[in-house]
Amino acid sequence: MPSTITFEQWEERKEEILRLYIVQGLALKPVMRAMRTHDFDPSESQYRTRLKKWQRRKPRNRHQAAPSTTTSTRTTASSPLRLAATEIPGSSAQTNVPLNE
């Protein structure tokens, strides 16, 4: 069971935790291992709670598009798929193909 970590213990380590997690971009588990001592061994949920209290998040990967700029190719009920009839050469049959918009 995780022990209670005092405000002072967190504040003493805040700069180092943020340097490892945000500046160096380490995942939380390696940060936890690096920070673990005999009197400081918070759980992962304690770390996440403290990061929220500090209002700290890792920056987004610069290669990821922001959600508002991504476009979906999925068809929903509100955006029906538009098809065009295309003749198949040498046949009297037709096939439907998506229109490029």
Residue 63 confidence (pLDDT): 54
Tens of pLDDT, residue by residue over 42-101, are 999 999 999 999 988 777 765 544 444 444 455 455 555 555 565 666 656 555 555 555
- Can you tell me whether residue 36 is helix, strand or coil? coil
| Residue 87 structure tokens | 């003749």
4 band by pLDDT with thresholds 50, 70 and 90: confident
- Please report where in the chains the tokens 């990061």 appear, as a residue: 51
Q: Other C-beta atoms within 10 Å of 47: how many?
A: 19
What pLDDT does residue 95 have?
55
